[in-house]
Structure 1
Amino acid sequence: MAPAAPSRLPLALKSLVTAFLAVMVPVYYVNYGPTNFLYFCDISLLLCFIALWTERALPASMAAVGILLPQALWCLDFLGELFGVHLVGLTAYMFDPNRSLFLRGLSFFHGWLPFLLVFLVKRLGYDRRALLAWTAVGWSLCLIAYFLLPPAGAVMADPKIPVNINYVFGFDDAKAQTWLPGPVYLLAWMAVLFIVCYLPTHLLLRKLFRRPAAASPAHGIDSGPVAGLGPA
C-alpha cells in the first residue's frame, strides 16, 4: 500500500475556516434566512471549504473565477465607506446600526476570502474547467434569484431578509431598474458577468498559475498536465 501523500494545505487553516463556518452558517440562517446562501460570495465560500478539505483545484478555481473581482471591489468600497468616500454602496450594510457588530463582523469574510482563494489556487493549481463550471453555477443562481426569490422593492417581514439577490433586478434593492425590460436586463447582466468578470479573471489566473498536479490517490487531486507540458 502506497504511503499517503502529505497534505499541501495547513491543518490549522482548514480548522480555522471550518470553525468560522460552524459559527457563520447558523447565525446567517437565523438572521438572513436560507436564501442568503444563494449569493455568489456565499457559494464561493462553500467551494473554498470543499477545496480546503479535498485539496481539489476545481472548487477553488471556480470560486476564484466567480468572486475575485467582485470581492476586490467590496474591499475598495468598504475602505471608501470607512473614510467617508461613497463608491458603489456594496458595503453600506456594514455600517448599518440596526445590525449587530457581531453580525457585521462575520461579513468580513468578504475581505479575506479573495486572498485565501489566491493562496489555494497557488498551492493547488488553476483548473481551466473553472470558467465554464462557474459560469453554469453563476447563471443558474441568477435565474433562481430572478424567478423564485424576492425582487428589488419587495417588503419583507424582517428587513434583514435579502431581496434582489445577485442584483438580478438592478443595483438598487429598494426598486427594480426600469431602463430595460426585466428579462432583457437579466440576460444583459448575465452576459456582463461573463464578459467583464469571469472571462478576464479566468485569463489572468490561467496566465499566472500552473495547472493542477497529476491525480493523487491519497487526496483525489484533480488530474491534468503539469504546467509547461500541455496547452494553456
Structure 2
Amino acid sequence: MSTVKASLPLSLKLSFSAFLAVMVPVYWVNYGPTNFLYFCDVALLLCLLSIWTERRLPASMAAVGILLPQVLWCADFLGELFGFHLVGLTAYMFDPNRSFFLRGLSFFHGWLPFLILFLVKRLGYDRRALPAWTLLAWGLCLVAYFFLPPAGTVLPDPKIPVNINYVFGFDDAHPQTWLPAPLYLIGWLLTLLVVVYLPTHWALRRWLVPKQTASAKAELAAYLSKLSYKRA
C-alpha cells in the first residue's frame, strides 16, 4: 500500500516535536520509563512517526486505540474538577504532590484526539490499524500484567506508575476482586477489542476514507467513462 503525500505543515512537525522533547525527559525522570507503556504515551510516539514520515498507519493505530479512551479521560477530568468521581482516571491531575508543570503536561490528553483526527483526515485511514493496534495493545497489557507492579503496590516513589493500562482494575490502590485476576485480564483484552477498537475502526473506515481509495475510484470512473465514449 503506497503512502499518500499529504505535506503536513512544518510548523506542526516542529511544535509537536518540541512538546515531546520537553515531555519525554520530564516524564522519564518523574514517572520512570515504564510510564511510556501506557496506551496514550505510545499513541504520542506513533503520532510523531506519522507526522514526520507522513505514513497513515501509525496515526491510524493511535486513532483506533485511544480516541474513545481520551474522551473518557476528558469526561473524568471534568467530573473530578466539579467534584464528581467518575472512574478516577484523572485523580493524579489533582495530586498536590505533583507540580503544576508536571500535571500541565498531561493536558495533552485533551488535544491529542483532535490532532489524531486531523492526521487521519489528512493522511487517510489505514484499515490495517485494527489488527496492528490490537496486537500492540494486548502485548503492552501482557507486559504490564506479568512484569510490572500490580494495583496496590506501594513503591518508594509514589509517582512511579502501577497497574499500567488497568490490567488489574480501574483502582490503582486496590486490585479488582470480583473476578480472578487471569479471567479479568482476558475479559479486559476482549473488552478493549469489542467496546473500544472495533467501533472506532468501523467509524473511521466509514467516515475517513483513505485519499488513495477515493482517488482510485475517481480514476476508475473517468477511465470507464472514456471507454464508454469510445465504444459509442
TM-score under structure 1 normalisation?
0.89
Deviation at 1:92, TM superposition (A): 1.1
Question: d(CA) in 1 for partners of 2:201 and 2:50?
Answer: 18
Question: d(CA) in 2 for partners of 1:135 and 1:229?
Answer: 29
CA contact (8 A) 1:65 1:134 kept: yes
Structure 1: runs of 5+ lacking an equivalent: 214-224
Structure 2: runs of 5+ lacking an equivalent: 219-232
Partner of 2:176: 177
The equivalences for 1:104-119 within 5 A come to 104-119=103-118
Asked if residue 35 in structure 1 is aligned to residue 23 in structure 2, the reply is no
Partner of 2:217: 229
Alpha-carbon distance change, 181 to 6 in structure 1, aligned in 2, over 3 angstroms: closer
Partner of 1:14: 13
Partner of 2:160: 161
Partner of 1:125: 124
The equivalences for 1:83-94 within 5 A come to 83-94=82-93
Question: d(CA) in 2 for partners of 1:198 and 1:227?
Answer: 27
Partner of 2:225: none
Partner of 2:44: 45
Question: d(CA) in 2 for partners of 1:164 and 1:8?
Answer: 39
**Where in structure 1 do 4 or more consecutive aligned residues deviate above 6 Å?**
none
Deviation at 1:90, TM superposition (A): 1.1
CA contact (8 A) 2:5 2:54 kept: no
CA contact (8 A) 1:78 1:91 kept: yes
Q: CA RMSD in A?
A: 1.6
Question: d(CA) in 2 for partners of 1:50 and 1:19?
Answer: 14
Q: Which stretch of the first structure deviates more once superposed, 52-61 or 88-97?
A: 88-97
CA contact (8 A) 1:169 1:177 kept: yes
Asked if residue 139 in structure 1 is aligned to residue 127 in structure 2, the reply is no
CA contact (8 A) 2:6 2:123 kept: no
CA contact (8 A) 2:87 2:170 kept: no
Deviation at 1:212, TM superposition (A): 4.7
Deviation at 1:7, TM superposition (A): 5.1
CA contact (8 A) 1:75 1:110 kept: yes
The equivalences for 1:191-202 within 5 A come to 191-202=190-201
- Post-superposition Cα deviations, 1:32-78, rounded to whole Å, max 9, x if no partner, equal 00000000000000000000000000000000000000001111111
SS in 2 for 1:229: helix
Residue-pair matches, total = 215
CA contact (8 A) 1:127 1:212 kept: no
SS in 2 for 1:94: helix
CA contact (8 A) 1:74 1:90 kept: yes
TM-score under structure 2 normalisation?
0.89
Question: d(CA) in 2 for partners of 1:147 and 1:117?
Answer: 30
**Which has the higher Rg, Structure 1 or Structure 2?**
2
Question: d(CA) in 2 for partners of 1:165 and 1:227?
Answer: 42
CA contact (8 A) 2:123 2:211 kept: yes
Residue type at the aligned position of 1:70 = P
CA contact (8 A) 1:145 1:166 kept: yes
- Post-superposition Cα deviations, 1:116-151, rounded to whole Å, max 9, x if no partner, equal 000000000000000000000000000000000001
- Post-superposition Cα deviations, 1:133-184, rounded to whole Å, max 9, x if no partner, equal 0000000000000000001111111000000000001111111111111111
Question: d(CA) in 1 for partners of 2:35 and 2:215?
Answer: 38
Deviation at 1:6, TM superposition (A): 7.0
Partner of 1:205: 204
Question: d(CA) in 2 for partners of 1:127 and 1:179?
Answer: 38
Residue type at the aligned position of 2:73 = W
